[in-house]
Amino acid sequence: MLDQSRIDALRSAEVPAAHHLIDGAAVPASDGGTLEVISPLDGQVLTTIARGTAQDVAAATAAARRSFDAGVWANTAPAKRKAVLLKWAALVEENALELAVLGVRDNGTEIGMAIKAEPLSAAGTIRYYAEAIDKIAGEVAPTDPSVLGLVHREPVGVVGAIVPWNFPLMIGAWKLAPALAAGNSVVLKPAETASLSLIRLAELAHEAGLPPGVLNVVTGEGPVVGEAIGLSMEIDVLVFTGSGPVGRRLLEYSARSNLKRVYLELGGKSPNIVFADAPDLDEAVKVSANGIFRNSGQVCVAGSRLLVERSIHDDFVSRLTEFMGKMKVGDPLDPATNAGAVNSERQLMQNLGFVEEARTAGRGIIGGKRILKDTGGYFMEPTIVTGVTPEDRIAREEVFGPVLAVLPFDTEDEALSIANGTEYGLAAAVWTSNLSRAHRMVRGIRAGVVHVNTYGGSDNTVPLGGVKQSGNGHDKSLHALDKYLDLKTAWIKL
Ligand code: NAD
């Protein structure tokens, strides 16, 4: 699939100006405004997207509401919705390379990861919920025999979805697939710096037979388009993946408008804990490096804090440094690349700022520099920061870049205390041969997912979500459908 000549043809293809997708049609911003899309590969203008306004959001939510109330999708038999979604998944797979390259030019993820994590993952998610939806049934409650208590599961109505720039198709599909499978209408807002492939994904849904108005996409800035979605009186449920500060705002918007339910998937500072009795240190090195440096660390579950038992600390760091040195950072459209571009200049500067602060505090820095500046793109060396203390900002705050903070520990209790010592609780990993310790750590770590002797593994069958300030909702698995289905009781006297 990753044929370099096809990639190169797509790499230089002109990208037309992108419009909103409202009521099944491409629509420019109501005031004609556009935003330039700067490619992180070369810092050049790739194209423009519509700079949405509150009026555009109102048009999209009205279209969504109309389609929902008319029942063009909500009242379609689940088996028929399934057929449309399966066709959509097939179209996404047929267009996988085109979607992946477009996304890479927009957000910088290396193509080797993007092809799997973006279109192919999205197609898998769409297929998963398509297959699930005609197997979900209501309940007959065990009431007194003089009545019949029925529990219906109904679509919630209009869903607002706001997503980030890392993995737009994967995360977009985590919201769209269960929301649409359940019969809802949706208004989607992609991130400013990763809208293009999501617009194409939505176009493919219409090609697959999704009725107009059921899936609407409004592009533009968070504080304008995202705020209008957050404050909309037409949106019943808001699902979000992104940063904590924006998540807080969404809760405020809900309180100020119609008390819409808000589900948040937020950031992390995930601990990757290596005990001296790890079964295979070389495997732990490889997986730990990939767990923070792939996609230049722009992964919500990135293992950004490495906790290493002191007796193997120096050996582990030196093996990690050696492995890291062999990772190929650069052109995201070269299938051999292990880590592509940082998404934006702003994010690159933020990453470098964290490193400089650690350097000033006397921490050891391996890597830490901007590279390939002559390309005009935003590239950064994989970076290890050693001698970090749990109080350091780099041990507590999400960098969202290829920066690994390394902290030594002496005992299991100390490792657990450091692991739980941040406001986040998204992911974690434990490397040990001791089965009892593995279970103790899985129980003790406050996180949505704890890996044992691996990192980052997951699929559609298991939920992904955080605890503490990493969020309050779960994507993926059948549990995610609960966000998009209301319970209704029918109480019938017999
Ligand atoms: P972000 O919060 O800056 O932006 C996310 C989305 O919110 C974008 O579409 C943006 O336009 C919108 N937005 C911005 N301001 C807004 C406002 N005032 N009102 C409404 N919407 C607004 O996040 P980002 O930089 O795009 O993404 C990185 C963050 O996402 C990281 O914190 C990362 O950990 C997190 N993330 C979490 C998961 C997860 O599953 N938990 C997955 C991927 C990314």
Task: Say how many Å lie between the CA of residue 18 and the centre of ligand 1.
Answer: 21
Whether the pLDDT of residue 168 is over 90: the answer is yes
User: What is the percent of the chain with per-residue pLDDT over 90, rounded to a whole number?
Assistant: 99
Pairing type for strands 185-189 and 215-217 reads parallel
Q: How many CB atoms lie within 10 A of CB 493?
A: 6
With contact defined as beta carbons under 8 Å apart, do 89 and 123 qualify?
yes
Calpha distance 312→309 (Å, rounded)? 6
Q: Do the beta carbons of residue 219 and residue 163 sit within 8 Å?
A: no
The answer to whether the CB of 297 is under 6 A from ligand 1 is no
Write the burial class of residue 131 (CB in 10 Å: 0-12 exposed, 13-18 middle, 19+ buried): middle
**pLDDT tens digits for 349-396?**
999 999 999 999 999 999 999 999 999 999 999 999 999 999 999 999
Give the pLDDT band of residue 301 (cuts 50, 70, 90): very high
Q: List the beta bridge partners of residue 186.
A: 159, 215
Active-site annotation, residues: 265, 300
Please tell me the predicted confidence (pLDDT) of residue 376: 98
Give the atom of ligand 1 at the shortest distance from the alpha carbon of 246: 2
Q: Which domains does the chain have, with CATH numbers?
A: 4-266+471-493 (3.40.605.10), 271-458 (3.40.309.10)
pLDDT of residue 1: 80
| Whether residue 400 has its Cβ less than 6 Å from ligand 1 | yes
User: What's the mean pLDDT in 173-193?
Assistant: 98
Annotate 332-387 with three-state secondary structure.
Answer: CCCCCCCECCCCCHHHHHHHHHHHHHHHHCCCEEECCCEECHHHCCCEECCEEEEC
Does the Cβ of 164 fall within 6 Å of ligand 1?
yes
Determine the residue of 35, 106, 118, 162 to mutate for testing ligand 1's pocket, defined as the one with the most ligand atoms within 8 A of the Cβ atom.
Answer: 162
What's the mean pLDDT when you consider all of the chain? 98
Cβ 159 under 6 angstroms from ligand 1? no
Report the alpha-carbon distance of residue 428 to residue 441 in Å, rounded: 10
232-273 pLDDT per residue, tens = 999 999 999 999 999 999 999 999 999 999 999 999 999 999
| Tens-digit pLDDT profile for residues 186-244 | 999 999 999 999 999 999 999 999 999 999 999 999 999 999 999 999 999 999 999 99
